[in-house]
């Protein structure tokens, strides 16, 4: 693992309206004994630039086996796994999963940040349990105003986000 530009502390920053909507999701899931585990929230544009540099360095294949074993790194932009601008930089996009109250993550069929068609929310090859869990997460998020990204089961953006055309660059402290 390496430090990513712009992340100085492990905090999840969101716009107030996105945070309130996410709290509603958490309240809905609590009676089922489930919690939300957040992987990433607001992402400074300098962090996005860091990921872009990594994606364009085709010689750097250190993470291939773990995150993109079946995908050619040269296609990450074309296939929508990496973008030159990220909705995360607007403060109303997050990456998350569901977990038991004790922190054990539910089976989602793939790991977070796994670049593959197997990570698409509707992928039919992940198995019944993983598919059910993906649909549970997506339905809870949708009920509270979030839309899913069609290539990542973990990625959601608040519909009607307050800063749709602004990409922030302040560090996460």
8 is catalytic: no
CA 35 and chain centroid, separation: 16
Q: Is there a domain that residue 86 lies in?
A: yes
How far apart are alpha carbons 167 and 88 in whole angstroms?
8
Strands (DSSP E) contained in the chain are 34-40, 93-100, 146-149, 152-158
Specify the CATH number for the domain of residue 29. 3.30.1380.10
Specify the pLDDT at position 1.
Answer: 64
Q: 8, 66, 152, 161: which one is catalytic?
A: 152
How far apart are alpha carbons 59 and 145 in whole angstroms?
40
Domain housing 85: 16-158
Q: Is there a domain that residue 2 lies in?
A: no
The mean pLDDT values, 10 residues at a time, for the chain of 173 residues are 89 98 98 98 98 96 95 95 96 98 97 96 95 98 98 98 98 97
Q: Is there a domain that residue 126 lies in?
A: yes
Cβ within 8 Å of residue 110, ≥6 positions away: 116, 118, 119, 126, 130, 153
Q: Is there a domain that residue 30 lies in?
A: yes
Q: Is there a domain that residue 171 lies in?
A: no
Please count the structural domains in the chain: 1
Judged by phi (left if over 0) then psi (alpha if -120 to 50, else beta), residue 32 lies in alpha
Q: Is there a domain that residue 172 lies in?
A: no
Full-model pTM: 0.96
Specify the pLDDT at position 2.
Answer: 76
Q: Is there a domain that residue 4 lies in?
A: no
Q: Is there a domain that residue 170 lies in?
A: no
């Amino acid at each position: 693992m390496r430090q990513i530009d712009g992340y100085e502390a492990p905090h999840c920053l969101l716009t107030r309206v996105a945070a309130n909507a996410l709290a509603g999701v958490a309240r809905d899931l609590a009676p089922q004994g489930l919690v939300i585990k957040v992987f990433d929230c607001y992402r400074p544009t300098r962090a996005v630039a860091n990921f872009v540099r990594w994606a364009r360095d085709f010689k750097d294949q250190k993470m291939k086996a773990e995150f993109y074993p079946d995908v050619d790194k040269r296609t990450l932009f074309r296939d929508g796994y990496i973008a030159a601008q990220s909705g995360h930089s607007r403060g109303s996009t997050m990456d998350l999963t569901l977990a038991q109250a004790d922190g054990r993550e539910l089976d989602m069929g793939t790991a977070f940040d796994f670049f593959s068609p197997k990570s698409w929310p509707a992928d039919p090859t992940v198995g019944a349990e993983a598919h059910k869990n993906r649909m549970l997460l997506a339905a809870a998020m949708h009920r509270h105003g979030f839309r899913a990204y069609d290539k990542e089961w973990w990625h959601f953006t608040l519909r009607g986000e307050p800063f749709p055309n602004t990409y922030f660059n302040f560090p996460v402290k």
